[in-house]
Chains A and B, each alone.
Chain A
Amino acid sequence: MDGALLVAGLYIFMLAAFLGFLVVSRVPPLLHTPLMSATNAISAIIVVAAILVTGGRHGTVVTVLGTIAVACAMCNVVGGFLITERMLKMFKKGDGKSEK
């Protein structure tokens, strides 16, 4: 059973990584900094795993570790998406006031 799950997981990983390559290689260097903060926010999905382990009533140690993990991951979720938005808002096409 576990072997089958592992293989299924590997398939998912392979396909997702391949898709990631295709999508990310088309991101222009212009947006590489927002790209990094966006992927950082997305990989903070570990907040989900942190929630599961914290809420599972596994004893004090696990709860403490889990709570810290929830806080760290959530900080990346919120901070990552907000700061990406803040950066992307600044990118403008050349018809602004700097025009002659």
Chain B
Amino acid sequence: MTSHIFTNIVYLISALLFILGLKGLNSPETARRGQKMAALGMTMAIIGTLIQHEVVTYEWIIVGLVIGSIVGIGIAAWTPMTKMPERTALSHAFGALAAALVGVAEYYHGQDLNTVRMSAIGSEVMLGSLTFTGSMMAFGKLQGILPGSPWTYKGQNVFNVSLLAVIALIVIILVFFPSTSFLFYLGLVLALTFGVMLILPIGAADMPTVISILNSYAGISAALLGFALNNKILIIAGALDGASGFILSIIMCRAMNRSFTNVLFGAFGKITPPVDGAAAPEDTGNKQVHSGTPKEAAEIFKNSKSVIIVPGYGMAAAQAQHNVRELADILKAQGTDVKYAIHPVAGRMPGHMNVLLAEANVPYDVLFDMDDINPEFPDADVALVIGANDVTNPAARHDTASPIYGMPILDVDKAKHVMVVKRSMNPGFAGIENELYFNDRTMMVFGDAKTVVGNITKELNDLK
């Protein structure tokens, strides 16, 4: 008993350190100190648990701790910043798997499966399992192992909702008849299947939202496990993680103009590419696209006083962040003001662009959020769009027929010159033509982002 009290006091301190750790993330100056506190809290919690008298054998615990640490260090050391979304999806999968496995183990050795405990274990295992397969699916789509395009079929939503209902029913039955173990394992398999089905209809470009939601689910499974085991630190840490994922989901939803229910019920497939939607391209078919060479682009840059760079997933895919910084350096050297405009859903996870630019040594005080930078576009000489598409489409403001109508966008079209670096005229994930490309002030520079930006930099150097 005394060891319990001691451990619980340690947990209490850990919880406080976790909260302080998150609070540190309010600003880049305090973030690292906060993380050290959170890591200290974690170490204390682990040690406090190892000395509990329930722990009678250590060999397998040590095996697990060592393997996990080695893999964790490896992943942390070698994951390139462009692959951060993949790493995050994978870590949600690991977390959810661990939660589900502990739940299964608790059920298997089945001590004292009363109503409260069984409802917590049941819902926790189901949520953990579906988060595990869902996150693995998200990982597969991000990594390109699975096709990134949405996979839809008729009656998909009906099927998914029914599957979820069956899983919920199984959990309810289990609460009253905890010993019907075949139902438990049936539910487990169904939940694993549900996770796959849930992510199938979601396109790779919707990943910022999906990753946030899976983050929230992983946190909630940890909290539910805390209820099952009457472990307060699990409840607290799970609630913090769940709340964080929830907030990020809301931010991502707003940035894509989706309702929250739309996302909660997993109807991400809703924005389906208009397969027969030749309407938009036909409308704009007779309009001119002005394409330019890196040399022409460099001449415009030469005479500009202020430039706003708009990065998107294309920059990450081409690993062009370092070349972008080099271009910005030259512009700054000639006295041009350079800022970056970052849309909340740019990239494949929340904040992805900021990390990539930070990696390329771009100071964070020139990175601006959408609301802060939008008023500045009319005064900018050049808006340079690199690998961003739908978040710059002016159709979102006025074209009620457009699938992205109402989505908040970066007002790049208001700049005096717009330069778009893009591989081809292929439309973005929503399958929509971007009006911006047919604007008279827009110059398209076709090619790989890394090569094009590199060439512009070279031409600009030669002009001096």
Give chain A nearest CB distance to B140 CB in angstroms: 18
With A12-B236, A45-B222, A66-B64 known to touch, is A88 a contact of B31 (CB < 8 Å)? Answer: yes
Residue of B nearest to A78 (CB): B72
Q: Which residues of B contact A63 (CB under 8 A)?
A: 60
Would you call B280 an interface residue if the criterion is a C-beta within 8 Å of the partner chain's C-beta atoms? no
Q: Contacting chain A: which of B162-170, B197-205, B342-350?
A: B342-350
- Nearest residue, chain A, Cβ from B132: A72
Residue pair A65, B91 in contact (C-beta under 8 Å):
no
Residue of A nearest to B233 (CB): A45
CA distance A85 to B21 in the complex (A): 12
Chain A 61-100 interface mask (CB, 8 Å, partner B; 1/0): 1110111111111111111111111111111111111111
**A78 and B69 contact, Cβ closer than 8 Å, known pairs A30-B354, A36-B350, A96-B361:** yes
Q: Which residue, of B39, B92, B102, B354, has the highest number of chain A Cβ atoms within 10 A?
A: B102
With the chains together, A94 CA to B358 CA distance in Å? 11
Q: At the interface, yes or no: B363 with Cβ under 8 Å from chain A?
A: yes
**A43 CB to nearest chain B CB (Å):** 4
Asked whether, in the complex, the Cβ of B98 is within 8 Å of the Cβ of A24, the reply is no
Interface contact A88-B35, CB-CB below 8 Å: yes
Q: Which positions 3-45 of chain A face chain B at CB distance < 8 Å? A: 3, 5-6, 9, 12-13, 16-21, 23-45
User: How many residue pairs at the A-B interface have CB separations less than 8 Å?
Assistant: 394
> Secondary structure of the B side of the interface?
helix
Would B64 and A28 count as touching, CB distance under 8 A? no
Among B182-229, those with CB < 8 Å from A are 211-212, 215, 218-219, 222-223, 225-227, 229
Partner of B88, one of A20, A40, A49: A40
Main secondary structure of the interface of A (DSSP, over half): helix
Residues of B within 8 A of A3 (CB): 116
Across the interface, do B50 and A50 meet the contact criterion of CB distance under 8 Å?
Answer: no
* Chain B residues closer than 8 Å to A21, beta-carbon distance: 243, 246-247
Determine whether the beta carbon of A13 is less than 8 Å from that of B223: yes
Residues of chain B within 8 A of A79, CB atoms compared: 71-73, 75-76, 87, 91
Residues of B within 8 A of A19 (CB): 19, 240
Interface residue? B38 (CB, 8 A): yes
A55 in contact with B329 (CB, 8 Å): no
Provide the bound-state CA to CA distance between A77 and B361, in Å: 27
Tell whether A39 pairs with B232 under 8 Å between CB atoms, given A31-B25, A66-B101, A74-B72.
no
A47 to B363: give the CA distance in the assembly, Å.
36
Give A residues with C-beta under 8 Å from B: 2-3, 5-6, 9, 12-13, 16-21, 23-59, 61-63, 65-100
**A/B interface sample: 28 pairs, CB < 8 A:** A2-B117, A9-B227, A13-B226, A20-B239, A20-B244, A21-B246, A36-B351, A38-B25, A45-B233, A47-B98, A52-B52, A55-B56, A65-B108, A69-B98, A69-B105, A73-B98, A77-B68, A79-B72, A79-B87, A80-B76, A87-B358, A88-B31, A91-B28, A91-B358, A91-B364, A93-B364, A100-B332, A100-B333
Chain B interface (Cβ < 8 Å from any Cβ of A): 14-15, 18-19, 21-23, 25-28, 31-32, 35, 38-39, 42, 45-46, 49-50, 52, 54-58, 60-61, 63-65, 67-69, 71-73, 75-77, 79, 81, 84, 87-88, 91-92, 94-95, 97-99, 101-102, 104-106, 108-109, 114-117, 211-212, 215, 218-219, 222-223, 225-227, 229-248, 251, 325, 328-329, 332-333, 335, 342, 344, 349-352, 354-355, 358-359, 361-367, 369
